[in-house]
Amino acid sequence: MSDSKTLNLVKNAPLQQPAPEHNVHGWERAGSILVGVASVVKGVRRGGIFGLVQLAIGGVALARGFTGHSRIKSVIEKGREDMDSVRAQIERAGAQLSKLKDNAVAATESATVTGNDSLKSPKA
């Protein structure tokens, strides 16, 4: 096995994951930091299992504030985008159905019934 092939594999391997986009901004980010600090302090003072839970929640809020990214918020936004996409598809399908109905109504208004079945007795 050649050394250049191994070097190329290592050279092309990403060292870090790309940074997630920021979806927490401004006052929301500052609020997360403040709530996180308060929750961590309260959890440390409280102690026990409930203090540990409060400490963990505070840590999550601090991470959200410092990084500017919330996984929960991104999942909710993704779900909202998917719902908007589905809603748009339903509206397009409804418009197409309405157009088909209008065309069918227009076609039946101009059609006349002769009582002659063209399959049994075709025109000569």
What tens digit of pLDDT does each residue of 2-13 get? Answer: 555 555 555 555
Rounded Cα distance between 82 and 42, Å, is: 39
Quote the tokens at residue 62.
Answer: 């601090």
pLDDT digits (tens, 9 = 90+) for 21-72: 777 888 988 999 999 999 999 999 998 999 999 999 999 999 989 888 888 8
Q: Using CA atoms in the order 101, 102, 105, 110, what is the torsion angle rounded to 10 degrees?
A: -140
DSSP letter at 2? -
